[in-house]
Amino acid sequence: MAFPIHRPRRLRRNENIRRLVRETNLSVDDFIYPLFIEDGENIKIEIPSMPGIHRYSLDRIDEELDEVVELGIPAVLLFGIPSHKDAVGSDTWSEEGIIQKAIRHIKKNYPQLYVITDVCFCEYTEHGHCGVLHEHDVNNDLTLENTKKQVVSHAKAGADMVAPSGMMDGVVKAIREALDEAGFSNIPIMSYSAKYASAYYGPFRDAAESAPAFGDRRTYQMDPANRREALREVALDIEEGADIVMVKPALAYLDIISDIRKNFNLPVAAYNVSGEYSMIKAAGKLGWIDEKKVMMETLTSIKRAGADIIITYHAKEAAKILKENC
């Protein structure tokens, strides 16, 4: 029928009707909060390019964890900054490695938190690349062998989930086999299945001290121009045993999130990365945008695109707003 029979504005007249017909609802249950934990004592350092985000030593991390628990955020994703780096990132599988110590601390003192570990090597190697180097490139298969040791050590320390981020071919299969053989068949894998070689990671490299000493990561992370390749990567990870698949970054890759949601039935995670966070913070500080509204709109757009889980540095701020609006 013609106008005026169809008047979509009828369902926008006030907040109550807008709430009733809202298609996408953001919840604190959607969030995973990343934590940067540094080896040492009495460390709380704000990351200059990520206002509000800090690196903590274990003796100070409870300041952050208390708030995370109080806000009802269900899960944290751990990144470590070790005191010792070497060519292969051996701290990643040490029983006294920074992540292993952090897992034990959190599981002992905050058993209600779900602890996920980022499984990679860039923060732990002298060269800043994501594995074992051979002729200035990452050797895929040698890196898989070290990845197996890393995930088993995380599992023994008490991790609830592991999340491989290095984009090595066959990594999910290698991890699944290693965990199963070590008696940890109950631990799920959240794979960074479609991780792009993105300029949006810049602030993270300040946070984790993980910038490559030479070159870049384009030989193992995906080309930002590729869309169909993401479906292939996800299909391979599912075939190898992934329980959750992830897209990283999120905001500039909403089409990829949508494609994966339409084509696969597994839970889909999206990483709202450091550059996306920092742009909102910077524009908000300058008064160019309403920071809180843009933050919530951004997170809603990621969920609307199809993400079931959102890894975001905004988690605490967004949780406060959602709590206020309950």
Token pair belonging to 137: 């490139």
Catalytic pick among 85, 148, 195, 281: 195
Give CA–CA dist 123/212, Å, rounded.
9
Catalytic pick among 85, 148, 248, 316: 248
Q: Where are the alpha helices (DSSP H) in the chain?
A: 15-21, 62-70, 98-109, 140-157, 171-181, 202-208, 228-240, 254-263, 274-285, 291-305, 315-324
| Contact assessment for residue 252 and residue 227, using Cβ atoms and an 8 Å cutoff | no
Give CA–CA dist 168/166, Å, rounded.
6
Give CA–CA dist 202/274, Å, rounded.
7
* Number of neighbouring beta carbons within 10 Å of residue 145: 14
Among this protein's residues, is 44 annotated catalytic?
no
Give CA–CA dist 226/194, Å, rounded.
10
- 217 in helix, strand or coil? coil
Residues constituting the chain: 326
* Cis ω before 249 (30° cut-off from 0): yes
Give CA–CA dist 250/269, Å, rounded.
9
Phi, psi of 133 (to 5 degrees): -85, 145
Q: Is the dihedral of CA 207, 210, 216, 219 positive or negative?
A: negative
Q: How many CA atoms lie within 13 A of 288 on its CB side?
A: 7
Tell me which DSSP letter residue 125 carries. Answer: B
* Straight-line distance from the first to the last Cα atom of the chain, in angstroms, rounded to the nearest whole number: 38
| Contact assessment for residue 189 and residue 242, using Cβ atoms and an 8 Å cutoff | yes
Among this protein's residues, is 248 annotated catalytic?
yes
> Catalytic positions, please?
195, 248
